[in-house]
Amino acid sequence: MSIHLPPGLRFDPASLGARSLPQAWAAHWRAAPERPVLAEGGGAYLTWGQLEAESARAAGRLFAAGLRAGERVLASAAGSLALAVAHVACLRLGLVVVPANPAYRAPELAQLFGDARPRAAIVDDAERAAQLASLDPALLVCTPALELSEGPVPALDDVSPDASALLAYTSGTTGRPKGALLSHGNLHATAEALRLAWRWTPADRLVHALPLFHLHGLGVALHGTLQAGASARLLPRFDPDAVLDAVERDEATLFFGVPTMLHRLAEHPRASALARLRLLVSGSAALAADLHARIAERTGQAVLERYGMTETGMLVSNPVAGRREPGTVGFPLPGVELRLAASGEIEVRGPNVFRGYLDRPDANADAFTPDGWFRTGDLGALDADGRLRIVGRAKELVISGGFNVHPREVEEALLAHPDVREAAVTGTPSAEWGEVVTAYLVTEREIGLPELRAHLAERLAAFKHPRVVHRVAALPRNALGKVQRHRLRGGCVLPA
């Protein structure tokens, strides 16, 4: 069973992934150049015509600086209108964008840089710019405003759907990040499927408080807005007051968030302002059933949950029309085929699914079945109506606040502390965060959380730091010495 589409909708499956993103967007700036599309903070909206002109000018600057189609541009900056325009410019020119979390520390950034090998970097922090320049003196480093020399605008938008658009990094089972190469066709397929399934129209206005280095904020919120010909107000960070102000001021119809955001909005004194939304969407982590109920009580909204991955874009969604069942992520989106392996692992295929990881033949061999289905690493079950429920993860990722945290990466950083002898990291369910990173440590002495966080500060982004730490006498292991994470329980909580 697939997602419910509007009655009478004529849908051609072959249209999914059949165009590049700029080709789809060009239809809007040609048809309605005066219509608003993007705004930042409390500022005025940029129109579609202005977006076309400003992104073309930005593309001319990048071209004059020597960048050519197929080359990679690392983007590590807070969400802003300038960053969105630069992103559009890169894709119009045929460049491959490499999103990177601005919270990454020097070792994390260096690892990603060495794997991606970008020709240019867009950053909004002088320290990060210096770090990147030290890795490659020939690297072109600029701000999101692309303060570069002007140049003639080359031919734009002539990008094949098969051309790479994003190199998005995701945690892997070994702890070493893997770069998922997503084509224009992959991203177009996700954006178009969401336009159809969520009945996204030019009349919709999104309050966008998600980061632009994450597929949720980039591939769903930004690309989806542009695909639908709609508009969005970009907020530099999530702040409940700013979100609610924007919802009321702009008469917004859409808000997309992660459970952490929705938890804070539900507890806000002005939560009832969300009642005016057409859709309140949650993703990137499971939304607790009691939070579903709390949001419904405070706002009248039945949250729409969906499910996707960096490698596939969006896969499954609860319906716009019809019952939304807490604890389920709904039905396959248009163009998506889904099956459950004998183990319960979710396997998918469709025009949204990437073709493989950059320079990782080992990972690619494991990622796909012999008949070409992508192994998600998540375990699922289907109810009698065909709704998908996520019941666990074959992989050991912890998802906290919508961000992926790989246990092994955190464990290795903890083991670098001179008094930590053994370390195991898991996730503990949290109504606010989805999961909190939890460490079980065998140590020479008691170590407080402030000391551990200070130790990790230069090694890992803050969202990867444990929020709960247990000191244990030994880690439970099987006969082969492998840590049995499912048996990790209790222990002495170290004083904070």
pLDDT in tens, 288-303: 888 999 999 999 999 9
pLDDT (0 to 100) of residue 174: 44
The stretch 249-277 carries a mean pLDDT of: 95
Q: Which domain holds residue 69?
A: 13-391
284 with 429, same domain?
no
Reduced DSSP (H G I as helix, E B as strand, rest coil) percent helix, strand, coil of the chain, to 5: 30, 25, 45
314 with 402, same domain?
no
Q: At what angle do helices 449-456 and 407-415 cross, to 10 degrees?
A: 100
Judged by DSSP in three states, 143 sits in coil
pLDDT (0 to 100) of residue 33: 97
Given 343, 369, 391, which residue is the final one in a domain? 391
41 with 149, same domain?
yes
Contact residues for 165 (Cβ-Cβ < 8 A; gap 6+): 20, 21, 91, 96, 97, 159, 182, 183, 184, 186, 187
Cα gap 339→319, rounded to integer Å: 19
98 with 173, same domain?
yes
Given 357, 391, 425, which residue is the final one in a domain? 391
**Looking at 130-144, 175-189, 375-389, 470-484, which range is the least confident one?**
470-484
**Which CATH number covers residue 475?**
3.30.300.30
pLDDT (0 to 100) of residue 193: 96
Determine contact, residues 59/154, Cβ cutoff 8 Å: yes
Q: Is the pLDDT of residue 73 over 70?
A: yes
133 with 168, same domain?
yes
280 with 412, same domain?
no
250 with 385, same domain?
yes
pLDDT (0 to 100) of residue 173: 39
Domain count, the chain: 2
* pLDDT band at residue 434 under the 50/70/90 scheme: confident
- Does 4 reside within a domain? no
Element (DSSP H or E) covering residue 24:
helix 21-31
pLDDT (0 to 100) of residue 478: 64
The stretch 123-150 carries a mean pLDDT of: 95
Predicted model pTM = 0.86
pLDDT (0 to 100) of residue 118: 98
pLDDT (0 to 100) of residue 465: 95
The stretch 129-133 carries a mean pLDDT of: 95
422 with 357, same domain?
no
* pLDDT band at residue 5 under the 50/70/90 scheme: confident
379 with 416, same domain?
no
Average pLDDT, the chain: 91
Contact residues for 265 (Cβ-Cβ < 8 A; gap 6+): 240, 243, 244, 257, 271, 274, 295
- Does 406 reside within a domain? yes
Q: Is the pLDDT of residue 6 over 80?
A: no
pLDDT (0 to 100) of residue 1: 61
Counting residues of the chain whose pLDDT is more than 90, the rounded percentage is 76
- Sign for the CA dihedral angle at 328, 218, 136, 134 comes to negative
**Which CATH number covers residue 119?**
3.40.50.12780
- Does 7 reside within a domain? no
- Does 207 reside within a domain? yes
- Does 369 reside within a domain? yes
Counting residues of the chain whose pLDDT is more than 70, the rounded percentage is 94
- Does 422 reside within a domain? yes
Higher pLDDT, 398 or 188: 188
- Does 1 reside within a domain? no
- pLDDT tens readout for residues 342-386: 988 999 999 999 999 999 998 999 999 999 999 999 989 999 889
The stretch 442-469 carries a mean pLDDT of: 93
81 with 134, same domain?
yes
157 with 301, same domain?
yes
Judged by DSSP in three states, 341 sits in coil
Cα gap 216→83, rounded to integer Å: 16
pLDDT (0 to 100) of residue 397: 78
- pLDDT tens readout for residues 278-336: 999 999 878 888 899 999 999 999 999 999 999 999 999 999 998 898 889 999 999 99
Q: Is the pLDDT of residue 16 over 50?
A: yes
461 with 319, same domain?
no
- Does 2 reside within a domain? no
Given 343, 358, 391, which residue is the final one in a domain? 391
Q: Is the pLDDT of residue 464 over 70?
A: yes
DSSP state of 303: P
The stretch 225-240 carries a mean pLDDT of: 97
Which parts of 149-209 are beta strand (E)? 164-170, 178-183, 205-208
Integer CA distances (angstroms), 177 to 113, 360, 465, 477, in order: 11, 11, 17, 26
Q: Is the pLDDT of residue 97 over 80?
A: yes
Q: Is the pLDDT of residue 75 over 50?
A: yes
pLDDT (0 to 100) of residue 487: 78
